[in-house]
A and B are shown apart, each in its own frame.
Chain A
Amino acid sequence: GAGVSQSPSNKVTEKGKDVELRCDPISGHTALYWYRQSLGQGLEFLIYFQGNSAPDKSGLPSDRFSAERTGGSVSTLTIQRTQQEDSAVYLCASSLYGTGHYNEQFFGPGTRLTVL
């Protein structure tokens, strides 16, 4: 596809349930990122993938959050035992390279997660 795609676009879940969010980056992009946007916190970095490896997971807020990337392409962000404070828009981005001056990050449309 031409851009970064994410699914689902909206997810409503009950507190305590697990959710999986999917990201399809731009073809050929080696780097993939997850961010979270919430009213109180703005846009926060969660995790960075270079290929299938995650050299930086420092932004994951708790051990209930995990992510993986397979085949250097699709990534899944999993939130276990969701809490109401997990409600946010989860944004995925990809870039051609993870480092260097031209690491423009291109974002997907996001997944709006609501935890009841």
Chain B
Amino acid sequence: SQQGEEDPQALSIQEGENATMNCSYKTSINNLQWYRQNSGRGLVHLILIRSNEREKHSGRLRVTLDTSKKSSSLLITASRAADTASYFCAASGGSNYKLTFGKGTLLTVNP
């Protein structure tokens, strides 16, 4: 079964607004990674947060991790039309090499 589950499945916002996507996972993890995918092709690595970290920033991205709730969130601030893509969380668990992906959130940023 899927380790990560994103919520919502689809999100449509206006440029300049913030976008928040959530991810839940089932078992313990070593780290959790967020990816972006445009047009169903290659995945772009956005950010990795380790299990002992609670928050991480990268540019306009902010990721939080709550291991007690087995959940993570990705916040994109001041969104741009170019942020339109699918966003996936991927959990790295006990084996630590295998990523288990959620089904993704399709983000549409309207100009």
Contacts and interface: CB of A to CB of B under 8 A. Distances in A.
Contact of B48 (A89, A98, A104, A108): A104
Given A101-B31, A104-B33, A109 B48 contact: no
A24 to B, nearest CB: 13
Interface-central residue, B33, B101, B103, by most chain A CB under 10 Å: B101
A45 B42 contact: no
B26 interface: no
Q: How large is the interface on A (under 10, 10 to 19, 20 to 34, 35 or more residues)?
A: 20 to 34
Nearest to B99: A105
B84 interface: no
B40 A89 contact: yes
A35 B48 CA distance: 19
B45 interface: yes
A107 B45 contact: yes
A59 B95 CA distance: 14
Interface-central residue, A101, A102, A106, by most chain B CB under 10 Å: A101
10 contacts: A33-B97, A42-B103, A42-B104, A45-B99, A56-B98, A103-B96, A103-B97, A105-B90, A107-B35, A110-B42
Nearest 7 Cβ contacts at the A-B interface? A43-B101, A109-B42, A107-B43, A98-B97, A99-B96, A101-B50, A42-B103
Interface of A: 31, 33, 35, 37, 42-43, 45, 48, 50, 56, 59, 89, 91, 93, 95, 98-110, 112
Given A103-B96, A105-B45, 13 more contacts: A31-B97, A42-B2, A45-B100, A48-B97, A56-B97, A89-B40, A101-B50, A102-B48, A103-B31, A105-B90, A106-B45, A109-B42, A110-B42
